[in-house]
């Protein structure tokens, strides 16, 4: 039995036809019924256990040895009563809260909130003058929750109660983290929009309903099993609640793309005259081999989040990596089984289209017509330096805004303006100042209950940027003291972060008399989290790049190409960061994309985006470069290899990128401002990667490097393989 020239000429770049991958593909093809049954039963079992008994999400970003973490630890130890979550009821009455009609409605709302089984005693603003502004038009009160883990389904009725009571000159808002989460609508079926777009793209690319359906079904089964397994892994390594959405987005994207790459190779093999089984085996040993490398790169990149040293990000890394692992397994086991059922019917239910006959790459010395991708590659290769300079300049311009990036966590001030939490923020800011929603909690251990901290409190009160400070409060055990101070600026203001640093660096050391004073609270915690993230990000980037380079060198056996990939990927990610800053932080087109207001970039978004994007960029690099290397080993000519490699992968990479963009862009349609940011950034990065990087910079840089592309220490550059006997597809089999 003769081998196809692709397998012979590319033998050094892909596993042998009798290797482990080939045996796995052959087994899954021949035992397709038990393999499919095993997947169905396994996914159903995982879904039943994972979704039925999921781990509780852990959204705590505190930890480590930061000032805010130390303050939180001290408060938890000496002030356990302070640990419960609270809600804030904000009241604004046009006629004043003492108006009889307004008072009756206000007292009814307070009574209803007090009667809820999930709330503790509520102090009425009519009982405490400190809860009312001097003109008595605005008031507030704190509503304690009985349990730290009150589900949002129990808080949502309270939000609805407050919203329904507003109107006719009385405005009420319910704020607090629990209220924000309770009234944030579920992400809803927006992933369905991405799936629909993916189906349309696949149908256009393949022109067949059967070929369209296989990647989608494979991706969906993989994501369902992966997310269920991720929920079980959360019992060992807790992760935040947004991990599920990130895992779904990345799982759907790469799950469909990986199946797409393998299916495209399968169809190419059929056209070359292979039988369905041999076409499946060769697809797995070529594209499937690249899938395993690409998926491993994504997992390595995700696991780079562990270097951040943050419990929350470690959970995200493990959870998302589990989903990627399942998608890889589905691509090389479940898809071969599906191909066994499809066989030659892979092109069934076709879209009517005209086809042109032309010679395939390697079938003859010339082609009747050059594809658009080949013609484009020729344009770039004629002026590679100009193309590289123009493309590089464009990426640097897009990346420029990243120099002004600010990090923070979303609060009520950046929520949609129809939310009760935003209403509460606006009322409180108007009546008590914007800093009331961004309190700073000062905590210290003392030798005795009689320790005098009044000079310290006075020094804080005198500090520019502080609106008000409460008297100190001693713990019941007499070993700790806390007090609060309210800035004149809000949670998201850069001046608030500057104030925290000024207090820690200048005010407290001189006024504390040798005592260690910690500055904590949600505001300070968010500032510390952002700064800790910024300081650790270079380490994560270094680790991810280093490990990915090693993997890519192993695959393509070229140090030069691996370094090119790293630099180009960094450029595309930088461009995505820059666009994100311009839209989210500067407000360019922000309102059109559903961002309620200008805001800092959410702290975890850039560090989540980097490993994901670096891994995905390596995906495209792997599929493109592996095909270019096959052509180079066939022709020993870099220019021809790049041209044919681009021609052979342009359609599939374009379709894969379009699917990724469609799926990531659906996140922009959702209600969560942080998730919208990561969806936007990912979609922009994939767009940049599939256009400027793959269509311009890769061919330009490879043309400039020439033979140096294949440099590897200690070995010679690859030479062209001996020419295979001439044949045309199936004729060689006869």
505-526 confidence digits (pLDDT tens): 999 988 776 678 999 988 899 9
Instruction: Identify the CA nearest to 437 among candidates 419, 412, 418.
Output: 412
Does 7 score more than 60 pLDDT? no
Tokens 């070359």, residue located: 272
Enter the DSSP assignment of 208. B
Residue 506 lies in a domain: yes
pLDDT value at residue 26: 94
Residues 336 and 206 in one domain: yes
Residue 641 lies in a domain: yes
Cα 229 from Cα 234, distance rounded (Å) = 9
Q: Give per-residue burial for 400-436: e unless 16+ CB within 10 Å, then b.
A: ebbeebebbbbbbbbbbeebbbbbbbbbbbebbbbbb
Phi, psi angle pair for 489, to nearest 5°: -115, 165
Cα 306 from Cα 536, distance rounded (Å) = 11
Round the average pLDDT of the chain to a whole number and report it.
Answer: 85
Domain boundary residue among 111, 141, 175? 175
Residue 671 lies in a domain: yes
Domain boundary residue among 520, 538, 566? 520
pLDDT value at residue 1: 37
Residues 40 and 97 in one domain: no
Cα 585 from Cα 407, distance rounded (Å) = 10
pLDDT in tens, 321-365: 999 999 999 999 999 999 999 999 888 766 555 444 444 434 444
Residues 386 and 535 in one domain: yes
- 151: domain CATH number is 3.30.70.1320
Cα 546 from Cα 566, distance rounded (Å) = 9
pLDDT value at residue 551: 81
pLDDT value at residue 547: 84
- Residue with the bigger pLDDT between 98 and 242: it is 98
Between the alpha carbon of residue 373 and those of residues 9, 472, 498, the distances in Å are: 23, 71, 52
Please state the rounded mean pLDDT for residues 6-10: 37
**What's the gap between Cα 629 and its chain centre?**
31
Going by pLDDT thresholds of 50, 70 and 90, the confidence category of residue 4 is very low
Residue 701 lies in a domain: yes
Please state the rounded mean pLDDT for residues 626-651: 85
Does 618 score more than 60 pLDDT? yes
Looking at the chain, the whole-number percentage of residues with pLDDT higher than 70 is 89
Cα 269 from Cα 287, distance rounded (Å) = 11
Sequence-ordered list of residues with C-beta below 8 angstroms from that of 130, at least 6 positions apart, any chain? none
pLDDT value at residue 405: 94
Q: Which two tokens stand for residue 587?
A: 């407000």
Does 308 score more than 80 pLDDT? yes
The answer to whether 323 and 308 are in contact (CB under 8 A) is no
pLDDT value at residue 579: 96
Cα 86 from Cα 78, distance rounded (Å) = 19
pLDDT value at residue 588: 93
pLDDT value at residue 31: 95
Q: ∠ at Cα 688 (550, 618), nearest 5°?
A: 15
Residues 345 and 393 in one domain: yes
CB atoms within 10 A of CB 500: 24
Q: What is the 3-state secondary structure (H, E, C) of 446-488?
A: CCCCCCCCHHHHHHHHHCCCEEEECCCEECCCCCEEEEEEEEC
Please state the rounded mean pLDDT for residues 143-172: 90
Q: Which two tokens stand for residue 409?
A: 């966590």
pLDDT value at residue 351: 58
Sequence-ordered list of residues with C-beta below 8 angstroms from that of 137, at least 6 positions apart, any chain? 92, 93, 94, 96, 97, 431
Total domains present in the chain: 3
- Residue with the bigger pLDDT between 152 and 43: it is 43
Cα 172 from Cα 140, distance rounded (Å) = 10
Domain boundary residue among 151, 175, 199? 175
Residue 145 lies in a domain: yes
Cα radius of gyration rounded to whole Å, the chain: 30
Residues 548 and 634 in one domain: yes
Residues 537 and 609 in one domain: yes
pLDDT value at residue 189: 62
Please state the rounded mean pLDDT for residues 142-159: 87
The answer to whether 201 and 658 are in contact (CB under 8 A) is yes
**What's the gap between Cα 414 and its chain centre?**
20
Enter the DSSP assignment of 504. I
Cα 307 from Cα 548, distance rounded (Å) = 15
Going by pLDDT thresholds of 50, 70 and 90, the confidence category of residue 429 is very high
pLDDT value at residue 9: 36
Sequence-ordered list of residues with C-beta below 8 angstroms from that of 455, at least 6 positions apart, any chain? 511, 513
Residues 143 and 217 in one domain: no
Which among 23-32, 72-81, 231-240 has the top mean pLDDT?
23-32
The answer to whether 298 and 615 are in contact (CB under 8 A) is yes
Please state the rounded mean pLDDT for residues 431-457: 83
Residues 607 and 479 in one domain: no
- 478: domain CATH number is 3.30.70
Does 728 score more than 90 pLDDT? no
* 3-state SS, residue 720: coil
Does 401 score more than 90 pLDDT? yes
- 292: domain CATH number is 1.20.1640.10
Residues 574 and 694 in one domain: yes
- CA 587, 591, 597, 602 dihedral sign is negative
Residues 571 and 549 in one domain: yes
Q: Which two tokens stand for residue 406?
A: 């600010």
Least confident of 155-159, 392-396, 722-726: 722-726
Going by pLDDT thresholds of 50, 70 and 90, the confidence category of residue 16 is low
Residue 640 lies in a domain: yes
Cα 718 from Cα 417, distance rounded (Å) = 62
pLDDT value at residue 10: 37
CB atoms within 10 A of CB 29: 23
Residue 359 lies in a domain: no
Least confident of 156-160, 176-180, 618-622: 618-622
Tokens 């640097």, residue located: 396
Cα 176 from Cα 276, distance rounded (Å) = 60
Residue 733 lies in a domain: no
pLDDT value at residue 2: 39
Residues 609 and 674 in one domain: yes
Cα 673 from Cα 677, distance rounded (Å) = 6
The answer to whether 319 and 54 are in contact (CB under 8 A) is no
Q: Which two tokens stand for residue 148?
A: 């730290």
| Residue 144, H or E segment | strand 138-144
Cα 729 from Cα 726, distance rounded (Å) = 10
The answer to whether 440 and 525 are in contact (CB under 8 A) is no
Tokens 């123009």, residue located: 390
Please state the rounded mean pLDDT for residues 91-117: 94
Please provide the size of the chain in residues: 734
Going by pLDDT thresholds of 50, 70 and 90, the confidence category of residue 450 is low
Q: Which domain holds residue 516?
A: 61-81+440-520
Per the DSSP assignment, residues forming a β-bridge with 330 are none
pLDDT value at residue 358: 45
Going by pLDDT thresholds of 50, 70 and 90, the confidence category of residue 293 is confident
Residues 17 and 122 in one domain: no
């Amino acid at each position: 039995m003769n081998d196809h020239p692709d397998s012979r000429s590319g033998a050094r770049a892909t596993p042998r036809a009798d290797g482990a991958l080939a045996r796995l593909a052959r087994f899954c093809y021949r035992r397709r019924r038990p393999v499919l049954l095993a997947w169905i039963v396994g996914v159903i079992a995982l879904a039943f256990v994972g979704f039925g008994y999921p781990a509780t999400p852990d959204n705590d970003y505190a930890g480590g040895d930061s000032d805010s973490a130390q303050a939180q630890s001290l408060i938890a130890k000496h002030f356990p009563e302070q640990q419960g979550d609270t809600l804030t009821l904000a009241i604004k009455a046009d006629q004043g809260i003492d108006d009889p009609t307004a008072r009756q409605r206000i007292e009814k709302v307070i009574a209803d909130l007090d009667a809820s089984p999930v709330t503790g005693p509520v102090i009425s603003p009519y009982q405490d003058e400190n809860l009312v502004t001097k003109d008595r038009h605005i008031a507030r009160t704190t509503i304690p929750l009985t349990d730290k883990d009150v589900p949002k389904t129990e808080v949502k009725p309270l939000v609805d109660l407050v919203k329904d009571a507003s109107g006719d000159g009385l405005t009420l808002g319910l704020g607090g983290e629990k209220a924000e989460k309770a009234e944030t609508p579920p992400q809803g079926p927006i992933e369905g929009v991405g799936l629909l777009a993916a189906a349309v793209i696949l149908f256009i690319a393949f022109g067949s309903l059967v070929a369209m359906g296989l990647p989608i079904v494979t991706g969906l089964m993989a994501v369902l099993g992966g997310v269920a397994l991720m929920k079980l892994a959360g019992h060992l390594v807790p992760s935040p609640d947004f991990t599920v959405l990130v895992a779904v987005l990345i799982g759907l994207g790469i799950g469909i793309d990986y199946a797409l790459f393998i299916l495209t190779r399968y169809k190419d093999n059929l056209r070359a005259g292979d039988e369905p089984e041999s076409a499946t085996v060769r697809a797995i040993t070529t594209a499937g081999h690249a899938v395993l490398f690409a998926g491993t790169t994504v997992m390595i990149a995700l696991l780079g989040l562990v270097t951040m040293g943050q419990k929350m990000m470690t959970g995200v890394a493990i959870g998302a990596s589990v989903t990627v692992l399942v998608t890889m397994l589905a691509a090389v086991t479940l898809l071969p089984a599906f191909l066994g059922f499809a066989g030659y019917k892979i092109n069934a239910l076709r879209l009517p289209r005209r086809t042109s006959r032309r010679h395939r790459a390697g079938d003859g010395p010339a082609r009747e017509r050059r594809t658009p991708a080949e013609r484009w590659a020729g344009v770039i290769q004629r002026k590679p330096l100009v193309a590289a300079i123009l493309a590089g300049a464009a990426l640097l311009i897009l990346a420029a805004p990243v120099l002004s990036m600010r990090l923070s966590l979303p609060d009520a001030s950046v929520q949609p303006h129809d939310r009760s939490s935003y209403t509460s923020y606006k009322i409180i800011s108007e009546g008590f100042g914007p800093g009331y929603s961004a309190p700073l909690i000062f905590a210290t251990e003392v030798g005795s209950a009689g320790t005098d901290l009044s000079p310290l409190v006075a020094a804080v009160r005198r500090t520019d940027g502080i609106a008000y400070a409460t008297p100190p409060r001693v713990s019941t055990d007499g070993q700790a003291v806390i007090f609060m101070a309210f800035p004149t600026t809000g949670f998201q203001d850069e001046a608030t972060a500057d104030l925290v640093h000024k207090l820690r660096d200048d005010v407290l050391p001189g006024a504390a008399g040798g005592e260690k004073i910690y500055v904590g609270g949600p505001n300070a915690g968010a500032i510390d989290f952002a700064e800790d993230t910024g300081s650790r990000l270079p380490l994560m980037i270094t680790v991810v790049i280093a490990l990915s380079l090693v993997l890519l060198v192993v695959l393509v056996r070229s140090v030069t190409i691996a370094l090119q990939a790293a630099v180009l990927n960094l450029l595309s990610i930088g461009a995505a960061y820059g666009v994100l800053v311009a839209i989210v932080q500067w407000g360019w087109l922000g309102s059109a994309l559903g961002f309620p207001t200008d805001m800092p970039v959410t702290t975890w978004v850039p560090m989540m985006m980097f490993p994901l994007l670096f891994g995905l960029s390596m995906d495209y690099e792997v599929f493109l470069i592996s095909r270019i290397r096959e052509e180079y080993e066939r022709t020993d000519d870099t220019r021809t290899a790049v041209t044919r490699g681009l021609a052979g992968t342009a359609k599939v990479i374009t379709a894969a990128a379009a699917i990724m963009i469609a799926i990531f862009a659906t996140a922009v349609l959702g209600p969560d401002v942080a998730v919208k940011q990561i969806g936007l950034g990912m979609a922009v990065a994939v767009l940049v990667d599939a256009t400027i990087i793959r269509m311009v910079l890769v061919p330009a840089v490879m043309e400039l490097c020439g033979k140096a592309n294949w440099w590897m220490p200690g070995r010679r550059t690859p030479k062209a393989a001996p020419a295979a006997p001439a044949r045309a597809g199936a004729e060689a089999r006869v």
